[in-house]
C-alpha cells in the first residue's frame, strides 16, 4: 500500500501533539506478509509538552476517511519541520469524518 495526503495529526490522548502537512506512506520491505510502513511528512506545528510524550496516535486524513494507528513510539523522529517514522499493521479506518477533528 502506498498513499499520499495533505494533512494529519499526532495526538497524545485527547491533546494535539503535532499537525502534519503533506505526508507519504510507503511499505517497508522486511519479510513477506508483514505490514510495516514508513510515514514521512512535513510538520506544520508542534505542541509541547504533548509532542514529547509517548506513545502517540497517528491520524492521517485520506479523502473523507481517517486512517489511525494507535500507540506509536515517535520520540526523536518528530522534529520542528519533519516526521519520519514506521507504523505497523493496517490502520483503523474511520469513515466520513471531518478533517482534523
Domain membership of residue 100 (yes or no) is no
Domain membership of residue 60 (yes or no) is yes
Q: What is the domain extent for residue 56?
A: 3-95
Domain membership of residue 55 (yes or no) is yes
**What letter does residue 89 receive in the DSSP assignment?**
S
Look over the chain and give the mean of its residue pLDDT values, rounded to a whole number: 91
Among 24-28, 31-35, 47-51, 64-68, where is mean pLDDT lowest?
Answer: 31-35
Helix, strand or coil for residue 76? helix
What was the pLDDT predicted at 94? 92
pLDDT tens, residue by residue, 36-78: 999 999 999 999 999 999 999 999 999 899 999 999 999 888 8
Domain membership of residue 81 (yes or no) is yes
Record the pTM: 0.90
Domain membership of residue 101 (yes or no) is no
Total structural domains within the chain: 1
Spatial neighbors of 38 by CB under 8 A, at least 6 apart, are 25, 26, 27, 28, 84, 85, 86
Domain membership of residue 64 (yes or no) is yes
Give the separation between CA 62 and CA 8, rounded to whole angstroms. 9
Domain membership of residue 70 (yes or no) is yes
What was the pLDDT predicted at 101? 53
Amino acid at each position: 500500500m502506498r498513499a499520499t495526503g495533505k494533512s494529519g495529526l499526532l495526538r497524545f490522548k485527547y491533546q494535539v501533539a503535532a499537525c502534519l502537512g503533506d505526508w507519504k506512506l510507503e511499505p517497508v520491505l522486511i519479510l513477506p506478509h508483514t505490514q510495516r510502513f514508513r510515514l514521512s511528512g512535513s510538520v506544520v506545528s508542534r505542541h509541547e509538552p504533548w509532542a514529547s510524550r509517548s506513545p502517540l496516535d497517528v491520524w492521517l486524513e485520506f479523502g473523507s476517511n481517517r486512517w489511525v494507528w494507535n500507540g506509536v513510539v515517535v520520540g526523536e523522529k518528530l522534529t520542528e519541520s519533519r516526521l519520519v517514522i514506521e507504523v505497523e499493521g493496517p490502520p483503523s479506518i474511520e469513515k466520513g469524518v471531518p478533517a482534523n477533528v
